[in-house]
Amino acid sequence: MKLKDMNSKAREAFAKSQIDIGVAIFKSIMLLVTTVPIALFIQGGFASEKSTDPISVVKVIQSFSTESQILIGLLFCFALFAGHNLRSTGIKILNEIEDET
């Protein structure tokens, strides 16, 4: 079924669900960016006294293989693009509905 064939209530629900999914993606990225460093710092606080090497997010990322770094970067970029695209499409559909009325 095409978007044009739907009635205005169905299009509005579709647009709101797209906006909600886009916002959820952005929230999950923000949660990931804030909790990973906090978890590393807490882990460093409970580490044994013998390890004098400070815990750093940069060092952890550098310890990954190059392929893993590229994959994580691509997934991060894809998530940002998907969240932005879903949210902007939903807002565009809502604006079209408002213009019709």
The predicted-structure confidence for 61-90, as pLDDT tens digits, reads as follows 888 899 999 998 999 999 999 999 999 999
In this prediction, what percent of the chain has a pLDDT beyond 70?
90
CA distance 39 to 45: 10
- Residue 42 pLDDT grade (very low, low, confident, very high; cuts 50, 70, 90): confident
Helices (H), the chain: 8-46, 57-63, 66-100
- What is the model's pLDDT at position 21? 95
